[in-house]
Amino acid sequence: MTRFISQKLRFYSFVCIALLLFVHGYNLNETYLQKDSLVNEPLTFTTFIEYFLANGVLRFRLPLLFIISGYIFALQDQRPYAERIKKRLVTLIIPFLIWSAVGLAITYLFQQFPVTAKAVKDAQLDQLGDNRPYNEIGWGGILLRWIVVPISYQLWFIKSLFFYNLLYPVLKWMVLKYPRIWFSIVSFLWIIGFGIYLIEGMGLLFFSLGIWLCKNNYPLDRKPQWFSSYVSWLFFIGLSVIKTFLAFELENDGSNWHSWIFILLYAGSVIAGVMAIWFSTDRLVKWCMGRKWFIWMAAFAFVIYGMHVPLLPYAIRLSCRYFYNVPNYRLVAYIMVPLMVMFFCMAFGALLRALLPKVYKLATGGRGF
């Protein structure tokens, strides 16, 4: 792996996580956007932008993160499997437990004051649908929310990643032995939205793709001859725009034909987006990675990732309630609140790293030192 590729991987790891805040920070009436979600509210500049970003163009993040993860994991084949898994326990599972507990603690703290407690209730983050104060749900409920269904729901990614790391030998064998069959199967699983707890189509496909790219020494630093930046950006943005307009203009008539259109648009946009982003932003990557402040910020990617939920949904609810008389408050909240939460997380990370470096290391799995 060249130095530039390494820089690129770090750059996109941070960018994908930073953009995650804009995916989780929308304030549409539809509180849980899925790839085929329709929007039952008027199309305005604000609602368009929120859907376009949160459920359109920014959908490339997770596939890219899975590719990067698969690629990096496959690079370390020379190390024994057990050792690697042991390391993953430290870098994935312990941070999972820590940040899940942090999410619970933040929620509990918010539940203690009437104003913030209302924000907790309105955010409806609890994956079990029981948004009662934690005083009322008991230790069993707390334990369940800590380990199985964290209030920081974004942590499913690292749990899922750990599972793919465990499955790595199988995945590698399939990828190298029967690449066509394997990729056909996992692509199909991705398209149909297959998912059972930790195994789901998207992760399998793109983690496998990362392995394949690594093991075939695919020249990631060279733009393929057939690749056209223009066409890939056109499809990336164009399909996302079409999908966004469709989301506002189509109506759920009980049939799921619209879902298939959305899934195809989503898949096309993600594929075009991943390629457009990877192959045509080298100058931006070089510029950013040449700046100290960017490197400093990128070091806190994991803190942002671990901490932004539930902080962000609560902050969004509070800002919408208290600043509703500010013109275009929804759009302002959508842009400003994620940025503020991101800076807060970075500040928190910087403080933690400075004051309690060992704790920081444990919480981030050693990332950002």
Partner 1 sequence: MQAALAQQAFIHISTQDGMGLSSNTINTIYQDKKGFIWVGTSNGLQRFDGSKFVQFSTGLEAIPYSSLTQIIQLDSNCLFLSFPTIKEFGIFNTSKSTYKKVGLKTSMELRPRTDPFIWKASDGELYLDLHRYGVLHYSKKENAFIEDNPFPFPKGWGQGLYATTFEDVVKKQYWFSGDSGICIYNKPTHEVWTRNYNPQHIAILNNSKVQDKITELYIDKKRRIWVCGWPGIGGQVRYCLDSNGNYLNKDTIGLNTGPVGYSEYRRFYETRKADFWISGLGVLYKYDKKDQRFNYIKSNLSIDNIGINYDYVFQVMEDNDGAIWLATDRGLYFTSVASSSYAVINILFDNSKSTTSITDILEMPNGNFWFTSWGQGVKSLDKNFNTVANHVYDQKPKKKDSVAFLEGVSKMTWCMQRQSSTGSIFIGCNFGVLLVHNPTKNTTEYLRPAIFNNSTIRYITEDKQGQLWFGTQGGRLIKYSNNQFTLVQEIGSIIYKVFIDNQGWLWLATHEKGFFAIDQNTGKVLQHYTAGKERNNLYTNTAFDIEQLNDSIIVVGAGALNFVNKKRQTIRLLKYEDGLPSNTVERLRVDKKGFLWIITANGLSRYNPLTNAITFYGSKDGIISAEQAKSADYVSSQGLLMFAGSNALVVFHPSIFANTQLPPNVTITDFKLFNTYLPVDSLLGSGAVKLRNDQNSFSLYYAALSFMQHDKLSYYYKMEGIDKDWIKADKSLYINYSLLPPGKYTFKIYAENIEGMRSQNITEIIVHIKPPFWRTYWFLSVLLLLTALAIYSVYTMKVNKLLAVEKIRTRVARDLHDDMGSTLSTINILTAMAKNKMSTDAVRTAEYLGKIGDNSQRMMEAMDDIVWSIKPSNDSMQKVTARMREFATNVLEAKDMDIKFNIAEDVLDIKLNMEARRDFFLVFKEAVNNAAKYSKAETVWIDISVQNRKLILCVKDNGVGFTADNADNGNGIGNMKKRADGINGRLDIHSKEGEGTKIRLSVPLG
Q: How far is the CB of 44 from partner 1 (least distance, A)?
A: 10
Helix axes 257-279, 229-249, angle to 10 degrees: 150
**Cβ closest to partner 1, residue 227 vs residue 245:** 245
**Cβ closest to partner 1, residue 42 vs residue 140:** 42
**Cβ closest to partner 1, residue 142 vs residue 241:** 241
Quote the DSSP letter at residue 154: G
**Cβ closest to partner 1, residue 136 vs residue 251:** 251
Q: How far is the CB of 29 from partner 1 (least distance, A)?
A: 11
DSSP characters over 256-321: -HHHHHHHHHHHHHHHHHHHHHHHS-HHHHHHHHT-HHHHHHHTTHHHHHHHHHHHHHHHHHHHHH
Quote the DSSP letter at residue 175: H
Q: How far is the CB of 239 from partner 1 (least distance, A)?
A: 8
Q: How far is the CB of 105 from partner 1 (least distance, A)?
A: 38
31: tokens are: 């509180």
Sign of the CA dihedral running 170, 176, 177, 178: positive
**Cβ closest to partner 1, residue 69 vs residue 240:** 240
Q: How far is the CB of 39 from partner 1 (least distance, A)?
A: 11
Q: What's the rounded Cα separation, in Å, for the pair 79 and 107?
A: 40
Of 297, 349, 235, nearest to 11 (Cα)?
297
Please, which residues have CB within 8 angstroms of residue 167's CB and are 6 or more apart in sequence? none
Q: How far is the CB of 235 from partner 1 (least distance, A)?
A: 8
**Cβ closest to partner 1, residue 201 vs residue 273:** 273
276: tokens are: 């457009």
Q: How far is the CB of 267 from partner 1 (least distance, A)?
A: 16
Site residues (vs partner 1, CB under 8 A):
40, 42-43, 228, 230-231, 234-235, 238-239, 241-242, 245-246, 248-249, 251
Report, in this order, helix, strand and coil percent for the chain, each rounded to 5.
75, 0, 25
Q: How far is the CB of 131 from partner 1 (least distance, A)?
A: 24
**Cβ closest to partner 1, residue 28 vs residue 101:** 28
DSSP characters over 179-237: HHHHHHHHHHHHHHT-EETTEEHHHHHHHHHHHHHHHTT--TTS--TT--HHHHHHHHH
**Cβ closest to partner 1, residue 55 vs residue 154:** 55
